[in-house]
């Protein structure tokens, strides 16, 4: 049974092509979990991917855009990004999030 100590996982820029997300990833065969941080004023540019994604705010506030919809969410709130739907995020404050994606073709967050 794999037990992971989060503090021992390497922190990294997760998707530097699209995002400023910085943190740790835990990758399984079918799902990948990211514990990520965004500094105020940073985020992820509009993009889409075949993975479904769940984005949970632990602290801070984020603006989430999906298609034509825009919402601001904070601690205790989450967004569900369907596959292949263009979305973006913007940190309104320094923020910490959990991001969970399905793994497709061996790829999760590192698209």
Counting residues of the chain whose pLDDT is more than 70, the rounded percentage is 95
111 in any annotated domain? no
On the question of pLDDT at 30 being above 80, the answer is yes
Residue-number span of the structural domain to which 50 is assigned:
12-102
The CATH number linked to 57 is: 2.60.120.10
On the question of pLDDT at 108 being above 80, the answer is no
How many domains would you assign to the chain? 1
Q: Would you call 73 helix, strand, or coil by DSSP?
A: strand
Place 16 in a pLDDT band, splitting at 50, 70 and 90.
confident
Mean pLDDT in residue range 61-85: 96
Residues 6+ apart with CB under 8 A from 88: 43, 44, 45, 46, 47, 64, 65
110 in any annotated domain? no
Residue 42 zone, left/alpha/beta (φ > 0; ψ -120 to 50; rest): beta
């Amino acid at each position: 049974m794999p037990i992971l100590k989060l503090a021992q996982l390497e922190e990294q820029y997760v998707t530097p092509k699209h995002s400023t997300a910085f943190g740790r990833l835990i990758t399984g065969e079918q799902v990948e979990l990211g514990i990520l941080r965004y500094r105020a004023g940073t985020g992820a540019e509009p993009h889409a991917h075949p993975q479904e994604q769940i984005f949970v705010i632990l602290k801070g506030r984020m603006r989430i855009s999906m298609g034509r919809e825009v919402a601001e969410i904070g601690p205790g709130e989450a967004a569900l990004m369907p596959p292949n739907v263009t979305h973006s995020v913007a940190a309104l404050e320094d923020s910490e999030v959990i991001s969970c994606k399905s793994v497709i073709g061996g790829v999760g967050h590192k698209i």
